[in-house]
Amino acid sequence: MSPYKNNIDNEIEVFRSKNQITAAVEKLGLYKSYAWKSFMTRTPLYGNSPVELVTDSINPRKIEYPLHIELSPRQGKLHIKAETYDKKDNKVEICNELIDGLPYTLPFEGSFVQLKYTGDTIPTLDKTLDIWFSNPRAVSKDLDSKLAVVFASRKATILNVTYRTPVIEEGKNFIQTLVDFYNIDAANQKNQGTEKTQQFIEGRLASISAELSAVEAQVESYRSHNNLIDVSAEAKLYLEQTGYTDEKMAELELQKSLVDYVEAFLAVPDNEYMPIPVLGIDDKDFATLINDYNKILQQRERLLLSSSESNPVIVELTRDIKTQRALLLKGVTSIRKGIEIQKRDVARQDQRIEDKIKNMPLYERELSDIMRQQRIKENLYVFLLEKREENDLSKNMVVPIARIIDDPDSTGEPVSPKTLLLLGGAVLLGILIPVFIIYLKMAFFPVLTDKKMLERLTSIPILAEISKKPEGKFFVVEKKSVEPIAELFRLVRNNLQFVLTSSDKKVLAVTSSVMHEGKTFIASNMALSFALTGKRALLIGMDIRRPRLSEYFHRPNREGVTTYLSGANTDLASLIHPSGLDSNLDLLMAGPIPPNPNELLMSDRFDQIIDYARAHYDYVILDTAPLGMVSDTFLLARAVDVMIYVARANYTNKASIEMLNGWVRNKRLDIPVYLILNDVNMKSKGYSYRQYGSGRYGYGYGYTTKRETPWYKRLFKKDRS
């Protein structure tokens, strides 16, 4: 870039302005694009398209929406599909038909465009040709996003210009054309003042030429009329003396006319931001002031190409221009006063000479006056001719302010897309996305999902997993049942028989963290499973705040544990009833909800209930309140042999297991504790490998259930009947 540019950042914006890019687009015809189109790719054609779109009758800058044409071979003919867009960006079809060949004319924007072959021979189209005809201003926006202009180094005034395009030749031509238009625009801006000077000089030359012709004719007529051919030696001497004063007066008159012109030029409102012609005023300070004023004007004009008048830099320049104008007007007044003083001095000197020649013949004196006017006009005319030549030289010797140091060339390899970067990004995403999904799952779904997760959270032994119960069925343990869930309860029963190592250990408490985890369901079916083996089992409803046994066993809850604990009924045997499901299973309901459950559970009568149950039953199962909600179950632990803690898959919070770990670790639950994971989806992939016989029970039992055929096999299964 030129070293005298004050703000290279602004010049960069001028270089890549939409006006410059649009001019380059129009010069190269980039508003019409051609490409081979296939299923996944679009291969641009630059300067070698077999078909040309002729748009001579349409001004590209006036089209509102682009024209899209697809030309493809079909059935030995050409299929042409042309469409444009409306104000709502919806496609508007112009043509969709088979044609024999080209040329072919299409209506567009109230006029016509024509498709024709580029060369003299008819080429063979073996794939789809994609053609776009767009407004150059719209194309310039797209090209601007592909253009980058940056400093070559921090302190350099050299710029690196990069243009991303798949067509190397197009990129080279675009950068070269853009630099050419930038230089042309800069030269035009610089020559604005020169053009104004040229107009002034031409006008003054025409005027002076006419005046000089009139004076010369007057001299010729005066000499002819008065027969003035020779003058005396004395007259010659005086005339030579007056010649100096005449030349001096002519020079002062010239300077005065130039100053008057500058003042008149500044007085015209339309010339407020126009450069002042430089005409050769002798006052060097004033001439320097004019040059500085013109440079500020040029700088402001350049910045307005890429910015608005509200730009702080432009506002500052406008203020400087007004200050310079005021200084120029003051300078005009000062110079004019100086010229007037000099004119008076020259006039006095001339008057003395005139006094000396007053005795000369009248004719000679009058001729001297006429010739004096002739010399003034001649000097002014020659001066203007010299200035015109100087102005022409200045205009034709404008040096480009930007030049290309290295010819445009490609990098030799694709700059986009970056293969290694894409592969690295894909690998990184392949790692980060699963991690992110796991994090979200842990953050937003902090619940147990399966036995593996439960084993990671606690060291408490897990007795078994219980699958989802059948819809609408509460009691799933039945004689000769082949359902998987019944087998799982048999597994719980067998595991408990290993836990209850002596006959005096027979009291089991079933609890959970919160409601709806299935503790009542587990306690009821576990008690029923013991009863089916011929053992006497008693199920006691110890959740006296929210009793639920009566609902499932359809027994009244008017009397039970709370009536005995409160002393309302001291006949414990009368409060125990058959379950109605098996003769070996009895029930002791919770009874009415008391106002003081903690106090009742702390009484000796609770120990009497447990002692009675131990004496008359083989197994005693307590359906207790959730540990995470109330402290009732902690009060019962003194009479319990084993605590069974029920967790529900996809429901129980992980924090509940951490809380259970704390109770066991702190000896708040100072009895053996075991876990049962309830409501497990055994059909999920995580459990499919654990099912007996890959989903079919019958491993050593002599009975199986029919395995359901997968949906995709049922879909393609052939009818063999």
pLDDT at residue 664 in the model:
93
**What residue ranges in 11-76 does DSSP mark as E strands?**
32-37, 42-45, 51-54, 67-74
Q: How far apart are CA 259 and CA 277, in angstroms?
A: 11
Q: How far apart are CA 243 and CA 249, in angstroms?
A: 10
Q: Where are the alpha helices (DSSP H) in 445-504?
A: 451-457, 484-499
Pairing of strands 128-133, 67-74: antiparallel
Q: How far apart are CA 370 and CA 93, in angstroms?
A: 84
Give the model confidence (pLDDT) of 113-133 as tens digits. Answer: 999 988 777 887 888 999 999
The torsion angle over the Cα atoms of residues 97, 98, 100 and 104, rounded to 10 degrees, is 30
pLDDT band at 344 (very low <50, low <70, confident <90, very high): confident
Residue 582: Cβ within 10 Å count? 20
Note the residue count of the chain: 721
Torsions phi, psi of 495, nearest 5? Answer: -65, -35
Torsions phi, psi of 54, nearest 5? Answer: -95, 120
Distance of CA 457 to the CA centre of its chain: 43
Structure tokens at 272: 């407020």
Residue 154 reports pLDDT greater than 50: yes
Residue 466 reports pLDDT greater than 90: yes
Query: Does residue 121 come out as left (phi exceeding 0), alpha (psi in the -120 to 50 range) or beta?
Result: beta
Pairing of strands 91-99, 32-37: unpaired
pLDDT band at 307 (very low <50, low <70, confident <90, very high): confident
- Share of residues in the chain with pLDDT > 90 (%): 36
Q: Which residues have CB under 8 Å from 370's CB, separation 6+?
A: 215, 218, 219, 222
Label each residue of 656-693 as H, E or C.
Answer: HHHHHHHHHHCCCCCCCEEEEEEEECCCCHHHHCCCHH
Nearest in space to 3 (alpha carbons), one of 402, 442, 425, 410: 402
The pLDDT of 11-25, averaged and rounded, is 86
The pLDDT of 79-84, averaged and rounded, is 93
Question: What's the DSSP call for residue 361?
Answer: -
Coil, strand or helix at 133: strand
The pLDDT of 129-145, averaged and rounded, is 91
Nearest in space to 80 (alpha carbons), one of 101, 56, 49, 54: 101
Label each residue of 403-448 as H, E or C.
Answer: CCCCCCCCCCCCCCCCHHHHHHHHHHHHHHHHHHHHHHHHHHCCEC
Q: Are 519 and 552 in contact (CB under 8 A)?
A: no
Q: How far apart are CA 109 and CA 463, in angstroms?
A: 81
The pLDDT of 359-384, averaged and rounded, is 76
- The enclosing H or E element of 75 equals none
Q: How far apart are CA 412 and CA 185, in angstroms?
A: 32
Give the model confidence (pLDDT) of 474-511 as tens digits. Answer: 999 988 888 889 999 999 999 998 888 888 899 999 99
pLDDT at residue 628 in the model:
86
Q: How far apart are CA 423 and CA 628, in angstroms?
A: 50
Q: Are 587 and 553 in contact (CB under 8 A)?
A: yes
pLDDT at residue 2 in the model:
45
Pairing of strands 619-623, 537-541: parallel
Torsions phi, psi of 446, nearest 5? Answer: -80, 55
Q: How far apart are CA 474 and CA 464, in angstroms?
A: 19
CA-only gyration radius of the chain, Å: 54
Residue 180: Cβ within 10 Å count? 16
Q: How far apart are CA 707 and CA 721, in angstroms?
A: 21
Q: Which of 29-43, 469-483, 678-692 has the lowest mean pLDDT?
A: 678-692
What fold characterizes domain 451-693?
A: Rossmann fold (3.40.50)
Bridge partners of 512, per DSSP, are 646
- The enclosing H or E element of 594 equals none
Higher pLDDT, 281 or 581: 581
pLDDT at residue 57 in the model:
86
Residue 359 reports pLDDT greater than 80: no
pLDDT at residue 697 in the model:
38
Mean pLDDT, the chain, rounded, equals 83
Q: Are 377 and 207 in contact (CB under 8 A)?
A: no
Q: How far apart are CA 324 and CA 331, in angstroms?
A: 10
Residue 235 reports pLDDT greater than 80: no
pTM score of the predicted model: 0.45
Residue 541: Cβ within 10 Å count? 26
Structure tokens at 691: 């099912």
Work out the burial of residue 176: count CB atoms within 10 Å of its CB; fewer than 13 is exposed, 13-18 middle, 19 or more buried. Answer: middle
Residue 148 reports pLDDT greater than 60: yes
Amino acid letter for position 421: L
Q: Are 307 and 15 in contact (CB under 8 A)?
A: no
Structure tokens at 404: 């290309």
Q: Which of 230-234, 427-431, 577-581 has the lowest mean pLDDT?
A: 230-234
Strand order from edge to edge, sheet including 576-578: 462-467, 673-680, 642-648, 507-512, 619-623, 537-541, 585-588, 576-578
- The enclosing H or E element of 154 equals none
| Residue position matching structure tokens 């038909």 | 97
From residue 624, alpha-carbon distances to 95, 278, 542, 600, 637 in Å are 80, 108, 5, 14, 10
Residue 618 reports pLDDT greater than 90: yes
Residue 244: Cβ within 10 Å count? 13
Structure tokens at 463: 């007795």
Q: Are 262 and 328 in contact (CB under 8 A)?
A: yes
Pairing of strands 673-680, 507-512: unpaired
pLDDT at residue 696 in the model:
40
Determine what percent of the chain falls in helix, strand and coil, rounding each to the nearest 5.
50, 15, 35
From residue 146, alpha-carbon distances to 22, 44, 138 in Å are 14, 16, 14
For the ranges 257-266, 356-365, 366-375, 508-517, the maximum mean pLDDT occurs at 508-517
